[in-house]
Amino acid sequence: MRNRWFHRPVLHTELDRSKRASWLELFFDLIVVAATLQLGNALSHGVAHGHGLEAFALFALHFVPLWVGWTGFTFYANRFDVDDFVHRLLVFAQMFAVGGMAVTAHAAMDLKHPDPRGFSASFALTLGLVSLMYLRSIKHTEQARDYSRYWAVVFGAGALIWALSALVPAPASYAVWLVGLAVVIGAPLSRTSRALSDAYPLDQEHLSERYGLLTIIVLGESFVKVLTYLSEDVHGSDPESMLKGAFNLMITCAVWWVYFDDIAGSRIKAGPFRWVAWLYGHLPLTLFVTGVGVAVKYATQIDLWSHPTPAYRLLLAGTVAGTLLSVALIDSVTERRQAELSDAWRVRVRAGSAGVLLLVAAVGGQMSGWMYLALVALIAGAQVAIDMLMAPMEDTGEQPDGAASTAELARRRQRGETTDGPRRIDMSQTVRKGTPSELRSDLYFFLMEGSWSRMMAVLGAAGLVLNVVFAALFLLDDHAIGGAFDGSFASAFAFSVQTMATIGYGAMAPGDAYGDLIVTLEAAVGLLGVAVATGLIFAKLSRPQAKVLFSRKVVLTTWNGKPTLTFRVGNARGNEIVDATMTIAALCDDVSAEGHHLRRLVDLQLVRSRQPMFRLSWTVQHVIDETSPLKDIDWSNPEAGFGALIVSLLGHDATYASTTHARYLYYPEDVAVGHRFVDVMSQLPDGRLMIDYDLFHDTEPDAVAMARDAEHATPA
């Protein structure tokens, strides 16, 4: 129990519990988002009047203080746990100050007669209230007084500078703004701040939740803007408007996917300044995500059959590209929990996609509206496809239902207890969890190990992107392409395809020195690309695939008076496998007297482990005598003796002139005790041998076989 009127702030590290976003923090978020919407509306007004770049620059200049104010309160809430009457009054006062920033945003962002005084005073009050929160912690929280004192001084100094900027007329006041922002934004980089962060660690999970909530609320406004415009448009229900809405909502969904799969599901790497880069990466990210919300609204006004206006196309592609670059920055200091490829590929893909978007924006005037929207949506949607390829599985942080350690299962079997679930150990589908990023698959292995559809999809997408890039490069110069060139993006794309494929129909040709330069570059890239693609395809095609058939059962029969484990293999292709060698190992659980578990492999000696020419079939035998590791197994319950028999065949494939291999696993339930294999070999009248694969897996009891053999041996 604690007093609701007043209680001292408690440093969060003193609390033995995880911190979650409070209702008061969520309420504060809504006010900040409302202020963000006002900044977005001012940006919309500037774009509508043809001042795209100037309006966005002003929008960014006013967005940074808003984000800094929100971050200041968020970090205080992350460090201290307090929710009394006094604290709520301070937060409500800060919400009013943020509301003042929202109300005065239009006047401050007026392109003709800016009046930033009200905005400056409101933000000064916002910083001052954060400083007051830390001053209160100095008095009532003894453990973290040095931490509270430092940040009280930082935010107090920032508030004082911004209050002074309200007395300076525009545009000179903007210079004072930059000084005030530098004081607050640069504070985490100081040696004192880093030492305090080490002494009082941040709750990273709480911060991830807070920045994720702000991002999703801001991103949700993109949906609201598109749906509002379509519902107000008299043609909102026609197919063209619905198509434009679908393109733009697809972009919004892709941005959501990229953030909440790349960033929200990642952990910050260890190292100096990593968390600072994570923090400051969210500033441009939130800024550009807000810009995406404005951009998709105006993108719904693009005529599908006309060239998009410069302001609209630059705003859309520029904000999406800025979002991807911000994600790439944060990706560079985070590590994904579960992925097939190295985390470096996340950075390359996001940064490369941003560059392609900027190129598309630069030459979008030579495209029709539908082509431009389709390209932007396709590039954004490709981020989702790439994400699914790179990380087909996710780490939920929880043990799957029914999962148990192999050591515990071995101990249970040693005690004679029954174990739930399958006994079989599927090594081919092993789930790799927590693999270090630097040891994950490279792109070559990723393509070689994957399916043909994966390889062809990646190569096809790479070819498409490269041709889009070179088509855009050609369009940067009006005279780069000569001949029958009509100036459209489609024609430039066709010329790029001809150049990369070295087709050269003769209708279009380089028109100037710049065109010659791009053709030279594309020809070199095309030759290298064809070489790489050819190498990959040839390597995948030329890998020998052993078509070796293993019997489904391994039989325990008697051979020359000794129990013998027997299985057989067949060469289904019938070609020559020269100098084939066979190895077999038993996978056994070994639990020491101290309870240590070790899963060990024990080699089994074969009657014949080498076959000079393996063309038809091979009967493999292991005699269970006094030297066999399996001599003490109770064959009525073989599960207690071994977990699997691992069989490996290695040989030289004469057809491919390379080494080939095959592997098979036999489990305890695959052992047929007291059985022998049915004979599958016969000789045709012309002297040729025939192997009957229809009977390859068939077995029969030893007693039946012995009786039949005895009958055939008795003279008539």
Torsion angle, CA of 606/609/674/662, rounded to 10 degrees? 130
Instruction: With cut-offs at 50, 70 and 90, classify the pLDDT of residue 505.
Output: confident
Q: Is the pLDDT confidence value at 400 over 60?
A: no
Can you give the pLDDT at residue 398?
A: 55
Q: Is the pLDDT confidence value at 622 over 70?
A: yes
How far CA 683 is from CA of 133, 686, 687, in Å, comes to: 95, 8, 6
Task: Tell the residue number behind the tokens 């968020």, with chain if given.
Answer: 74
Distance separating alpha carbons of residues 489 and 474, to the nearest angstrom: 9
Q: Is the pLDDT confidence value at 15 over 80?
A: no
Per-residue model confidence as pLDDT tens digits over 641-660: 788 899 999 998 887 778 88
Can you give the pLDDT at residue 716?
A: 43
Q: Is the pLDDT confidence value at 339 over 80?
A: no
Instruction: With cut-offs at 50, 70 and 90, classify the pLDDT of residue 429.
Output: low
Distance separating alpha carbons of residues 144 and 200, to the nearest angstrom: 8
Average pLDDT over residues 590-601: 70
Average pLDDT over residues 10-25: 72
Q: Is the pLDDT confidence value at 363 over 60?
A: yes
Can you give the pLDDT at residue 475?
A: 93
Can you give the pLDDT at residue 342?
A: 76
Per-residue model confidence as pLDDT tens digits over 241-280: 788 878 888 888 899 988 888 887 678 887 778 888 899 9
Each domain of the chain, given as residue ranges in start order, spans 22-202, 441-542, 548-713
Select the more confidently predicted residue: 77 or 417: 77
Per-residue model confidence as pLDDT tens digits over 521-533: 999 999 999 999 9
- Using DSSP, state whether 452 is helix, strand or coil: helix
Lowest mean pLDDT segment, chosen from 182-186, 187-191, 236-240, 374-378: 236-240
Q: Is the pLDDT confidence value at 329 over 60?
A: yes
Average pLDDT over residues 149-167: 92
Q: What is the mean pLDDT of the chain?
A: 83
Can you give the pLDDT at residue 408?
A: 56
- Distance between alpha carbon 446 and the CA centroid of its chain, in Å? 14
- Using DSSP, state whether 705 is helix, strand or coil: helix
Can you give the pLDDT at residue 452?
A: 85
- Distance between alpha carbon 364 and the CA centroid of its chain, in Å? 29
Can you give the pLDDT at residue 711?
A: 56
Can you give the pLDDT at residue 523?
A: 93
Select the more confidently predicted residue: 326 or 446: 326
- Give the chain's length: 716
Distance separating alpha carbons of residues 185 and 181, to the nearest angstrom: 6
C-beta separation of 628 from 642 below 8 A: no
Can you give the pLDDT at residue 506?
A: 80
- Using DSSP, state whether 18 is helix, strand or coil: coil
Per-residue model confidence as pLDDT tens digits over 62-74: 899 999 999 999 9
Q: Is the pLDDT confidence value at 138 over 80?
A: yes
Q: Is the pLDDT confidence value at 401 over 60?
A: no
Average pLDDT over residues 281-289: 92
Distance separating alpha carbons of residues 465 and 529, to the nearest angstrom: 12
Select the more confidently predicted residue: 483 or 705: 483
- What letter would DSSP give residue 341? B
- Distance between alpha carbon 694 and the CA centroid of its chain, in Å? 47
Distance separating alpha carbons of residues 576 and 571, to the nearest angstrom: 9
Same fold, 441-542 and 548-713: no
Q: Is the pLDDT confidence value at 399 over 80?
A: no
The CATH topology of domain 441-542 is: Helix Hairpins (1.10.287)
pTM: 0.77
Per-residue model confidence as pLDDT tens digits over 546-590: 788 899 999 999 888 889 999 999 888 878 888 899 999 998 877
DSSP secondary structure of 468-495? HHHHHHHHTSTTSEEES--S-HHHHHHH
Instruction: Return the sign of the alpha-carbon dihedral for residues 367, 372, 374, 375.
Output: positive
| In 513-572, alpha helices (H) | 513-542
Q: Is the pLDDT confidence value at 535 over 70?
A: yes
Q: Is the pLDDT confidence value at 336 over 60?
A: yes
CATH code, residues 548-713: 2.60.40.1400
Amino acid at 257: W
Lowest mean pLDDT segment, chosen from 230-239, 495-504, 678-687: 230-239
Can you give the pLDDT at residue 132?
A: 92
